[in-house]
Amino acid sequence: MSIKIILFLIAIEVCNQTIGIGLRSLILEAHNRRRAKYGNQPMVLDEELCTECSEYADEIVRNEGVYTENYLEYLYATDPISAKHLQVVCVFREALPRECVRIWFHYRGFAENTKYYRFTAMIWNASTRLGVGLGRIQETRYLVVRYAPPGNILREMASNVPKRPTTFWDAEHIVDHGFEFA
């Protein structure tokens, strides 16, 4: 009987870590893995941003799921930006929270779709700090992510969203080495 209680307490602790601090680490790791594919510097968790994200996630719950994002707000900015961060929200039910990061990453290359700018916010090289918060209304979850300093400025896009590096196995390199495709 006591072993069952101990296992139960361990399971509760694992759940708490995944939902709380563990969630932040999972989202940070998912971001940094994708940023590395572009040669961008890793981000770090910012406790103040995480607190703000959690507070905003609670606000979404109080407002019955109503939220705003500002990842497009500075796209055409010509003056210096005074804002502290960019904010992206992911709404999900069945998936894991880091699925949101995977989905944002897979919008790369579709600049005519505003969802592309979630991708650019995520890998923006000058954004070095990350905040994460989670809210829940019944089975619907709201993942709030903030990037600081803010990015997504068209005039700075080339220096902050590099093209993905190629590898030997890319077709152009294989052809250059005398191999042909069947």
Q: Which residues of the chain have pLDDT under 70?
A: 1-2, 4-21, 109-112, 165-182
What does each C-alpha distance from 74 to 24, 79, 153, 154, 159 come to in angstroms? 26, 10, 6, 8, 16
pLDDT at 73: 85
- pLDDT at residue number 17: 42
- The pLDDT of residue 76: 85
Contact by Cβ (8 Å): 113, 92: no
Residue-level pLDDT at 5:
56
pLDDT in tens, 119-137: 999 999 999 999 999 999 9
* C-alpha angle 155-158-163 in degrees, rounded to nearest 5: 155
- Say which CATH topology domain 1-162 has: Pathogenesis-related Protein p14a (3.40.33)
Rounded to 5 degrees, what are φ and ψ at 113? -100, 125
Q: What is the pTM of this model?
A: 0.77
